[in-house]
């Protein structure tokens, strides 16, 4: 006999942004039972976006980005211990230290980790890094401060581009190698990738597109450079592998959930699906590890690696965990993303990858201040602003109301559109990129894989 | 005190930069960089910045103290 949903035992696995916001919201919504938050990192929840910005620039210490609490979560924090398994029938989370935690309701918020360089012996060279954790950022910042002659960044997604930007700002030479046709192309499409390429080159980045790195070279265990697929060689002291993220789902391999490389599938109310596509009612999912349907994007399953999504989805999941069925809410937030690099703020609302055409609605490529609006089959599905963040809300409304694309003159604040005719948005297949896209449309079907393929790294 | 700016909301009105220039800094037209760990002597200024932010994007509080219970 289920009791009051505001009582009982809740376990949150994942102690980063989504886990923290969920824990706070549970208490805000009146949960009075026992609350345990498990995190594999030894630190209290911290903010990651500054790691590739302020921390690399040296204006904030790597251990200074602890997230403020909105309210006391009155939780037991089990930090520095990894969840290794889930017994959904016995309703227990298994921990690496041999302990197990019983739950009545569980929230999965294990997020992602950096995709490692595929060759472990090359990845182990001194001077080869990834950037995801506080430790990663601390050591990389230290090495950048030591004044390397050149840094090689592999992958020109948002993280790789932000790292390259920090290098240039510190006066460090940097080469960026990207397999796709341009930086950020997976998230923004080919047209804006050209603009991003121009921004990088204008800031002195040695940008190489359409190439892959075939081998990392070292001498006496130290990284010295890399071979590229076009036959060229880059000599560098540091290498940052920015190949996107892997979802932390391995611990769920035997849990019978729809968990796979794209994340853990859940319904609009953040309830996890089993591998048979049956929705659970005691296992919830939030943040980067989730994969959820969105009505604005034809109910395709979306995987988002967005700060704002982690917050919004954690709040909805927490609300639903302590609310009876009819009072539950759907997670329908329009995705919003930002990045700052080379002195510009890029913001995106909607899903630019869900588009067939794009038009510049305001500003120009030349003045590097613009709004690009994306459409799919005649309706607005996304907008990207470059240093025009105040317009984001306006375009969010157009997306939410499925406004016609191309947008009318009103969309540009009463001015005529800069380009009268839309051009193809040129969104590539994400498989052809060095960097993972931060938004992935993963299709309608739950993952068919029942086992997780572990990467070689 | 720790702060985090919800940069999804931030529209670079720069009120915080005006009120607490030691903590908030604009980098170019719209890139807001800030010190997440607020020094003691900046607390008052940061509180003013939090109140003045037109989009209420600044969140302040204490870090989780995992040993608290």
**3-state DSSP call for residue A392?**
helix
**Token digits of residue A172:** 């460090």
Q: Of A47-51, A186-190, B11-15, which gets the smallest average pLDDT? A: A186-190
Rounded-to-10 torsion of CA B1, B7, B10, B15 = 30
Please check whether residue A22 is in contact with residue A317, taking contact to mean a CB–CB distance below 8 angstroms: yes
Compute the nearest-CA separation of A150 from chain B (Å): 24
Model ipTM?
0.95
Helix axes A134-145, A158-169, angle to 10 degrees: 30
Q: Which residue of A has its CA nearest to B57?
A: A308
How would you class B13 by CB atoms within 10 Å of its CB: exposed for 0-12, middle for 13-18, buried for 19 or more?
A: middle
C-beta atoms of B69 and A49 within 8 A: no
List residues of B whose CB lies inside 8 A of any A CB. 1-4, 6-8, 10-12, 25, 27-37, 59-66, 69
The pLDDT assigned to A433 comes to: 63
Residues 6+ apart with CB under 8 A from B6: A307, A308, A311, B57, B58, B59
Spell out which residues of chain A touch residue B46, defining contact as CB-CB under 8 Å. Answer: none
Which residue matches tokens 């976006």? Answer: A49
C-alpha closest to that of B62 among B16, B1, B6: B1
**pLDDT tens-digit profile of A411-428?**
544 444 455 557 777 777
Alpha carbons A431 and A152: distance in angstroms, whole number: 22
What are the backbone dihedrals phi and psi of residue A196, each rounded to the nearest 5 degrees, phi first? -65, -40
The class (CATH top level) of A116-243 is alpha beta
C-beta atoms of A68 and B27 within 8 A: no
Best of B26, B30, B50, B57 to substitute, by most chain A Cβ atoms within 10 angstroms, is B30
Q: Which residue of B has its CA nearest to A19?
A: B64
HEC readout, A110-175: CCEEECCCCCHHHHCCECEECCCCHHHHHHHHHHHHCCCCEEEEECCCHHHHHHHHHHHHCCCEEE
Alpha carbons A93 and A192: distance in angstroms, whole number: 44
C-beta atoms of A74 and B69 within 8 A: yes
Q: B66 lies in a domain?
A: no
Please state which architecture CATH assigns to domain A9-113+246-327.
3-Layer(bba) Sandwich (3.50)
Q: B24 lies in a domain?
A: yes
How crowded is residue A137: how many other Cβ atoms within 10 Å of its Cβ?
26
Domain ranges (residues) in chain A: 9-113+246-327, 116-243, 343-439
The pLDDT assigned to A455 comes to: 42
What are the backbone dihedrals phi and psi of residue B18, each rounded to the nearest 5 degrees, phi first? -70, -40
The pLDDT assigned to A216 comes to: 98
Q: Which residue has the higher pLDDT, A431 or A326?
A: A326
Beta pairing partners, A293: A301
Number of structural domains chain B divides into: 1
Q: B42 lies in a domain?
A: yes
Check which CATH number belongs to the domain holding B12 and give it.
3.30.70.20
CATH entry 3.30.390.30 includes domain A343-439: yes
Q: State which residues form the domain around B44.
A: 2-61
The pLDDT assigned to B66 comes to: 77
The pLDDT assigned to A368 comes to: 85
Rounded (5°) CA angle A138-A141-A147: 150
**Token digits of residue A344:** 């510009």
The pLDDT assigned to A10 comes to: 98
**pLDDT tens-digit profile of A143-176?**
999 999 999 999 999 999 999 999 999 999 999 9
**pLDDT tens-digit profile of A73-107?**
999 999 999 999 999 999 999 999 999 999 999 99
Out of B3, B30, B63, closest to residue A389 by CB: B30
Spell out which residues of chain B touch residue A311, defining contact as CB-CB under 8 Å. Answer: 6
Mean pLDDT along residues A1-11: 86
The overall average pLDDT reported for chain A is 91
**pLDDT tens-digit profile of B1-55?**
999 999 999 999 999 999 999 999 999 999 999 999 999 999 999 999 999 999 9
Please check whether residue A244 is in contact with residue A436, taking contact to mean a CB–CB distance below 8 angstroms: yes
Compute the nearest-CA separation of B4 from chain A (Å): 7
Q: Which residue of B has its CA nearest to A75?
A: B69
Spell out which residues of chain B touch residue A343, defining contact as CB-CB under 8 Å. Answer: 27-29, 31
Q: In CATH terms, are A9-113+246-327 and A343-439 the same topology? A: no
Please check whether residue A186 is in contact with residue A354, taking contact to mean a CB–CB distance below 8 angstroms: no
C-beta atoms of A68 and B61 within 8 A: yes
Characterize the bridge pairing of strands A150-154 and A173-178. parallel
Mean pLDDT along residues A261-271: 95
The pLDDT assigned to A298 comes to: 86
**pLDDT tens-digit profile of A394-414?**
999 999 988 999 887 655 444
Distance of alpha carbon A155 from its chain centroid, rounded? 15
C-beta atoms of A343 and B33 within 8 A: no
The pLDDT assigned to A432 comes to: 65
C-beta atoms of B66 and A57 within 8 A: no
Compute the nearest-CA separation of A225 from chain B (Å): 32
Distance of alpha carbon A2 from its chain centroid, rounded? 36
Spell out which residues of chain A touch residue B6, defining contact as CB-CB under 8 Å. Answer: 307-308, 311
């Amino acid at each position: 006999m289920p009791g009051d949903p505001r009582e009982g035992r809740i376990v949150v696995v994942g102690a980063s942004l989504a886990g923290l916001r969920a824990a706070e919201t549970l208490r805000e919504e009146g949960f009075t039972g026992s609350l345990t938050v498990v995190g594999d990192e030894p630190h209290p929840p911290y903010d990651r976006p500054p790691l590739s910005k302020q921390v690399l620039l040296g204006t904030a210490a790597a251990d200074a980005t602890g997230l403020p609490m909105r309210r006391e979560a009155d939780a037991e924090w089990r930090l520095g211990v990894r969840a290794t398994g889930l017994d959904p029938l016995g309703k227990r989370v298994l921990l690496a230290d041999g302990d197990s935690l019983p739950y009545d309701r569980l929230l999965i918020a294990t997020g992602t980790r950096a995709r490692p360089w595929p060759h472990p012996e090359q990845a182990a060279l001194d001077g080869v890094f990834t950037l995801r954790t506080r430790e990663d950022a601390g050591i990389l910042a230290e090495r950048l401060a030591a004044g390397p002659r050149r840094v090689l960044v592999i992958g020109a997604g948002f993280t790789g581009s932000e790292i390259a930007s920090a290098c240039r700002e510190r006066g460090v030479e940097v080469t960026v190698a990207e397999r796709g046709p341009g930086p950020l192309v997976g998230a923004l499409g080919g047209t804006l990738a050209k603009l991003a390429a121009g921004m990088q080159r204008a800031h002195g980045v040695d940008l190489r597109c359409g190439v892959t790195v075939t081998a990392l070279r070292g001498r006496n265990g130290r990284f010295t450079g890399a071979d590229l697929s076009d036959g060229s060689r880059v000599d560098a002291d540091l290498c940052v592998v920015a190949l996107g993220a892997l979802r932390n789902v391995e611990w769920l391999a035997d849990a019978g959930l729809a968990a796979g490389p794209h994340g853990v599938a859940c319904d609009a109310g953040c309830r996890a699906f089993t591998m048979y596509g049956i929705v659970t009612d005691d296992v919830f999912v939030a943040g980067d590890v989730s994969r959820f349907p969105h009505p604005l994007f034809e109910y395709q399953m979306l995987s988002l690696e967005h700060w704002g999504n982690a917050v919004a989805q954690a709040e909805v999941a927490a609300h639903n965990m302590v609310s009876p069925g009819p009072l539950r809410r759907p997670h329908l937030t329009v995705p919003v993303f930002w990045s700052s690099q080379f002195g510009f703020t890029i913001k995106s609302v909607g899903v630019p990858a869900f588009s067939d055409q794009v038009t510049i609605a305001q500003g120009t490529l030349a003045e590097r201040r613009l709004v690009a609006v994306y459409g799919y089959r005649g309706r607005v599905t996304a907008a990207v602003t470059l240093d025009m963040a105040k317009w984001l809300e306006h375009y969010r409304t157009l997306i939410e109301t499925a406004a016609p694309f191309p947008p009318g003159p009103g969309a540009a604040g009463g001015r005529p559109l800069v380009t009268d005719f839309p051009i193809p948005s040129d969104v590539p297949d994400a498989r052809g990129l060095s960097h993972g896209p931060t938004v992935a449309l993963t299709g309608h079907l739950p993952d068919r894989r029942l086992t997780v393929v572990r990467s070689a790294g | 005190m720790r702060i985090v700016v919800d940069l999804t909301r931030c529209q670079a009105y720069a009120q915080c930069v005006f009120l607490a220039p030691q903590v908030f800094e604009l980098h170019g037209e719209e890139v807001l960089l800030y010190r997440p760990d607020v020094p003691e002597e900046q607390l008052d200024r940061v509180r003013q910045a939090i109140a003045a932010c037109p989009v209420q994007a600044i969140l302040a509080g204490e870090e989780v103290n995992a040993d608290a219970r």
